[in-house]
Amino acid sequence: DGGITQSPKYLFRKEGQNVTLSCEQNLNHDAMYWYRQDPGQGLRLIYYSQIVNDFQKGDIAEGYSVSREKKESFPLTVTSAQKNPTAFYLCASSRDIFYEQYFGPGTRLTVT
């Protein structure tokens, strides 16, 4: 079954701790993306990667970091520097940046 998996589905952390969200795809897509969704808001781009070992900041990259060491994987770290980390995080991938994006099931992060 081809698709995008994100884990975990729900994540709870204490303030001040870094946390890493996993995103894996087996669609052989070159491009991968991380978005954040807050209630009543559209999706906002955090980071994207066009190819392995390369990634670019999106609109709200502050307090986040990513890596792209393998084509299939694009983990997102939410650092303690992110002021409002509680949100729904969506990972997406596309054949390349000019094609439609497909989304994983998301991770709901709650920081208290």
Partner 1 sequence: EDKVVQSPLSLVVHEGDTVTLNCSYEVTNFRSLLWYKQEKKAPTFLFMLTSSGIEKKSGRLSSILDKKELSSILNITATQTGDSAIYLCAVEAGYALNFGKGTSLLVTP
Interface positions with partner 1 (CB under 8 A): 33, 35, 40-45, 48, 50, 56, 58, 90, 97-98, 100-106
Q: What are 52's two structure tokens?
A: 């392995």
By beta-carbon proximity to partner 1, the closer residue of 80 and 86 is: 86
By beta-carbon proximity to partner 1, the closer residue of 34 and 72 is: 34
Alpha-carbon dihedral 54, 79, 111, 32, rounded to 10 degrees: 0
What's the min distance (Å) between Cβ of 16 and partner 1?
Answer: 28
Residue corresponding to tokens 């052989």 = 28
Cβ-proximal residues to 24 (8 Å cutoff; 6+ apart), any chain: 4, 5, 6, 72, 73
What's the min distance (Å) between Cβ of 80 and partner 1?
Answer: 26
By beta-carbon proximity to partner 1, the closer residue of 63 and 106 is: 106
